[in-house]
Amino acid sequence: MPNVAELKQLLRLAEGRIEQLVEENRSLTQFCNDLMDAQGHEAEQMAAMMEQIIQLEDALRSKASEKDEILALMAALNARMTSMREQALQAMKAAADNSSRLQIVRHVFDIAAHTEEDELARRVAEFNAMIAPAK
C-alpha cells in the first residue's frame, strides 16, 4: 500500500495534469470560437459577393436588352434607308431614261412619302436616346 508521501506526490501530479488539460480546453475553446467567427465572416463575404453577382447579372441583362433595342432600331433604320435608296435609284433611272415627267414626279413622291421629316426626326431622336445612356 502506498504511503502518504507517495499519495501526495501522485495528487500533485494529477492536479498539474488537470490544470494542463483545463488550459488545453481553454485554448481549444478559443480556437473553436475563432474558427466560428472566421466562418461567420466568410459567410457574410459570400453573401455580399452573391449580391454583387446578382447586381452584375441584372446590369448585364439590362445592357443586353438595350443592345437588342438598339440593334432593332438600327435594322429598322437600315431597312428604311435601303428602301429610300432603291426608290432614289429608280427615280434617277427614270430621269436617265427620259421618262415622262409624271413618272419622275411619282418616284419623287414615293421617296417623300417614305421620308416624312417628322417621322424620320422622331426615329433619329429615339435612336439617339437609346445609345446615349449606353455610352
The pLDDT of residue 24 is: 92
Residue of 134, 132, 128, 135 whose CA lies nearest to 65: 134
pLDDT for residue 132 is more than 70: no
Cell numbers 490544470 correspond to what residue?
19
The pLDDT of residue 20 is: 94
The pLDDT of residue 104 is: 60
Q: What is the tens place of the pLDDT at every residue in 2-17?
A: 788 888 999 999 999 9
The pLDDT of residue 80 is: 79
Region 66-93 average pLDDT: 77
Residue of 79, 77, 84, 80 whose CA lies nearest to 110: 84
Decide: pTM greater than 0.85.
no
